A and B are shown apart, each in its own frame.
Chain A
Amino acid sequence: MKILVTVKEVAEAADDFEIEGTDIGEQYLEYDLNEWDDYAVEAAVQLSETYDDVEVVSATIGPERAEETIRMALAKGVDRSIRVWDDDVAAADLDVAAKTRLFAAVVEEEDPDLVLSGVQAADDGFGATGVSLADEIGFDWAAVVNDLETEDDLSMAHVHRELEGGIEELTDVDFPAVLTIQTGLNEPRYASLRGIRQAQSKEIAEFGLADLGLDADAVASPISRTGMYEPETESDATYLDGAADEQAGQLADVLREKGVVSE
């Protein structure tokens, strides 16, 4: 069996940041493996440890910088990686449809039995690529999976989909399938020193559009970001200022006044 995991390197904004144009200034961004994808990687690696002959391949759309994050996934047990990038991809404002076309081309190339993605990317939060991809490649799917059990012949999975308000939906999904993985599904491991060493010699194959049989039309998008701003705060919060003990003193007064502290 082959499992493809989509892995995104996401940006997190520093506490104090400034917006430059339609994005946060590069110097205020820190990059890391997307939290949801970390759980997807772990799920894939656990399956490869449970069953014989499971290969785990990760796929990333991202610049060279993303290789650091990809190495992290390799160190956690991914066997090899694919990174999709070239000048046309770099210049594009990738929407869900464009990402779907890129990953669909990777799926065509790799022919996996199972694709795992995160529920959403922490930075732009569209939460749509996994299901869109499933529809495109004709796989079955389940979104927001927080419990995963596979049949031993790997023909299907019994999953829980985490709905709102503490309700989970129990669903059977036939393979080949795309599952979008929710945090809490497992306990993502830390990369071991040995894993980090091994990752150095694992392959990260680079694909441009032409390598995937695509051209620049594949990344053309009718959606463009035209503005970014800090939300006007509707906050009428009273700030408790001063040193920590002064802040704590004022907070204690508020709590006493509200009558919620039993002393």
Chain B
Amino acid sequence: MSDVLAVADHRRGAVRDVSFEIVRAGRELADDLDGDLHLAVIAGDVDAFADRLSLAGVDAIHTVEAGEEFNHDLYAGATAALFEELAPTAVLMPNSVNGLDYAPAVANRLDLPLVADAVDLAYDDGLEATREMYGSKVETTVEVSEEPFAVTVRGGEWAALEERADVPVEAFEYEFDESASGARVQGFEEVGAGDVDIADAEFLVSVGRGIEEEENLELIEELVEVTGATMSSSRPIVDNGWLPKNRQVGQSGKQVTPDVYLAIGISGAVQHVAGMKGAETIIAINTDPNAPIFDIADYGIVGDLFDVVPALIEEFE
């Protein structure tokens, strides 16, 4: 048998979307391998999560009842123990922020080759994974010549598997004492509250690193003024302290779905796109014709923002 072990992601009582996607990725790989798909559900209300994840294509769910929330020592230890028990050919983990915190430890501990942030997987006599490089400007294929192997999968690349089924659930015993762990979760904090909720805006003018200098933000402010839009930004603008955190669009910022999203000098990194791909109309202004933002844009302007934006302001003055 050549089985696949996938690990679900959940946070503060809710199963995260990537769990439904990793089940699809795992099912496809298990089909290629002619094996079973095992799904691990670790920490929290595992029975409720197992019920949510009883999906067609999962052959068995293994619940590890220990702790309330994510802890990387628990996740790495339990995943490795399940691996020893099930001896799968592949371990799939999410490339979420929590995935970044335990997947490399699982691979290291079990001496497995690790392919991180895969966007596609194919198996034919060995794993061939597709991943991006150079800020999504290119895709690469990598081949793995050893088995078993570990992969982390990017969120949003596989369609969620939603069809429900009766899946056998087995409790897997794993002893864990968080107080003895060298990294102990103390709580959570929500950040990014503030005067404006960019998620409410119907027209967002969003600015990225292409603006170069803080002073140049005046130009964008002027555009916002004459068009009645709301200003948002990519991460570097917030990292630099030029705009407050509540203006950041993306994976670690806000998810927005305005009628129009005008991206100015934003390359379209995956973590940015995660926050704005749901916009109805996406317009991008960028000097680089290969910028990945154009792949999801409805309208594109290949041009210098310092020429185009002043001309646009004039249109509305």
Contacts and interface: CB of A to CB of B under 8 A. Distances in A.
Interface of A: 11-13, 15-17, 19, 22, 24, 95-97, 100, 119, 122-132, 134-136, 140-144, 158, 160-174, 177, 180, 183-184, 187, 221-231, 233-240, 244-245, 247-249, 251-252, 254-255, 258-263
Contacts of B143: 223-224, 226
Contacts of A238: 298-300
B135 interface: yes
Interface in B292-310: 292, 294-304, 307-309
Interface stretch (B44-52, B165-173, B250-258): B250-258
25 contacts: A12-B134, A17-B137, A119-B100, A126-B117, A161-B97, A164-B97, A165-B251, A166-B252, A166-B254, A168-B190, A222-B144, A222-B146, A223-B143, A224-B143, A225-B140, A230-B137, A230-B139, A237-B297, A237-B299, A251-B308, A258-B259, A258-B281, A260-B202, A261-B227, A261-B228
A125 B118 CA distance: 11
A150 to B, nearest CB: 15
Nearest to B69: A169
Contact of A171 (B184, B190, B235, B239): B184
B interface secondary structure, majority? mixed
Interface in B191-246: 191-192, 202-203, 227-229, 235-236, 238-241, 245
Interface string B257-274: 001100000000000000
A140 B299 contact: no
Contacts of A225: 140-142
B311 A245 contact: yes
B188 A228 contact: no
A141 B183 contact: yes
B299 A229 contact: no
Given A134-B105, A260-B259, 5 more contacts: A128-B100, A161-B97, A164-B96, A235-B300, A262-B227
Contact of A128 (B114, B241, B252): B114
Contact of A169 (B107, B188, B316): B188
A221 B142 CA distance: 12
A119 B282 CA distance: 29
B58 interface: no
A223 B104 CA distance: 15
Given A134-B105, A161-B101, A247-B301, A171 B183 contact: yes
A223 B113 contact: yes
Interface in B108-146: 108-109, 111, 113-117, 128, 131-146
A125 B132 contact: yes
| Residue from A128, A140, A221, A222 having most chain B Cβ neighbours under 10 A | A128
Interface of B: 11-12, 70, 72, 76, 95-98, 100-105, 107-109, 111, 113-117, 128, 131-146, 149, 152, 181-192, 202-203, 227-229, 235-236, 238-241, 245, 251-255, 259-260, 281, 283-284, 287-290, 292, 294-304, 307-309, 311-312, 314-316
B105 A247 contact: no
Contacts of A228: 133, 138-141
Given A226-B142, A237-B297, A244-B303, A13 B137 contact: yes
B229 A235 contact: no
Given A174-B182, A235-B297, A247-B303, A222 B101 contact: no
A247 B104 contact: no
Contacts of A183: 235-236, 239
B299 A240 contact: yes
Q: Which are the 5 A-B pairs with shortest beta-carbon distances? A: A140-B182, A248-B311, A244-B307, A184-B239, A222-B146
A115 B296 CA distance: 38
| Residue from A12, A22, A125, A134 having most chain B Cβ neighbours under 10 A | A125
A160 B140 CA distance: 33
Nearest to B132: A125
B114 A127 contact: no
B85 to A, nearest CB: 20
Given A226-B141, A237-B299, A245-B311, A164 B251 contact: yes
Given A24-B138, A135-B76, A170-B185, A248 B314 contact: yes
